[in-house]
Amino acid sequence: MFDVSGDAVTTLHSGTSGNSTVLVDLDGTPGLITTLYGESVAVYELTAPDAPVEVVSQYVDSDSAREVVFDASLERFYTVGRNRVVSLAFDGAGYTTLDAYERRLGTRQYRDVALAGAEDRLLAAWWDESGGSGVELFAVAEDGALTLLDGREFDDGVRPRRRQGPLERAHREPRPRGGRGVTAAPRPSAALPGPLPRPPGVVTLPARRQPPPPWKRVTPRHTTSRLSPTPVAVLASTVSVAVSPSSVTCVWTVPSPSDSQTM
């Protein structure tokens, strides 16, 4: 206990090792609620700040009372510690343990706790020895029963990640050099969508190859006349080709206008 009313800080009382200390009003009397040695929770009366008087204390379990939170009526208390979240009832004279959630897999150090909603939800922050950290959400029943609802694990201490369900627990490997070793099942790739449905009344025709242009002019080096029984080489200046679905017509022109041939 310290006196900070003046310019200097003065020690009034030093003794029991406590944590998670909160000042409260005990029916008009100043009081203090704290955890002791990480294993108990206690209520003190502070009529004389330099001589706190213990009203009641309750041993919870070893490393099970690092932090404590309570409702507005001081009737329900909740403590957290190593692998445990505990609910207790307080009647002004003593504590009664109502329920305890115990984590069976690995070691999880619950470090802070807070009530949420209409005091029927409990948030517990945690860290573990592999470097992970996160928060878990519990439902609190009227009889003090605790039920784990959901949780988030913080990726590298920054971004929350959804807690895996009972059938899809993330397997944590030993930490490799240069980063954390968390492996999870690969996500299935999304299936490509199939062909889009046709609108009603729309018919899709197969693509047709476009015919060549009606006239195609080329200038060959030489050609042969089929009108003479003996092949005769003819020097043509131009050749025109006409293509239709049923026939092909070729016309070439030689230097003399009278020598034009059609085939």
Do 163 and 45 lie in a common domain? yes
Tens of pLDDT, residues 45-78: 999 888 889 999 999 999 999 999 999 999 999 9
Q: Is residue 45 part of a domain?
A: yes
Report the distance separating Cα 240 and Cα 255, nearest Å. Answer: 15
**Per-residue confidence at 227, pLDDT binned at 50, 70, 90?**
very low
Q: Is residue 226 part of a domain?
A: yes
Highest mean pLDDT among 1-5, 107-111, 173-177, 212-216: 107-111
Do 132 and 221 lie in a common domain? no
End-to-end CA gap in the chain? 121
Do 224 and 167 lie in a common domain? no
- pTM, entire model: 0.57
Q: Which residues, 6 or more positions from 147, have their beta carbon under 8 angstroms from its beta carbon?
A: 138, 139, 141
Of the listed ranges 31-40, 123-132, 234-243, the one predicted with least confidence? 234-243
Report the distance separating Cα 7 and Cα 38, nearest Å. Answer: 33
What 3-state DSSP class applies to 258? Answer: helix
Q: Is residue 102 part of a domain?
A: yes
pLDDT at 138: 96
Report the distance separating Cα 114 and Cα 112, nearest Å. Answer: 7
What 3-state DSSP class applies to 63? Answer: coil
Strands 40-45 and 29-36: antiparallel
Structure tokens at 233: 């080489």
248 has pLDDT over 70? no
**CATH code at position 69:** 2.130.10.10
262 has pLDDT over 50? no
Q: Which domain holds residue 222?
A: 215-258
Q: Is residue 136 part of a domain?
A: yes
Q: Is residue 121 part of a domain?
A: yes
Tens of pLDDT, residues 82-133: 999 999 999 988 999 999 999 888 889 999 999 998 899 999 999 988 888 9
Of 47, 48, 50, 44, which is closest to residue 10 (Cα–Cα)? 50
183 backbone dihedrals φ, ψ, rounded to 5°:
-115, 145
DSSP state of 168: S
**Per-residue confidence at 6, pLDDT binned at 50, 70, 90?**
confident
Q: Which residues, 6 or more positions from 253, have their beta carbon under 8 angstroms from its beta carbon?
A: 236, 237, 238, 239, 260
Q: Please count the structural domains in the chain.
A: 2
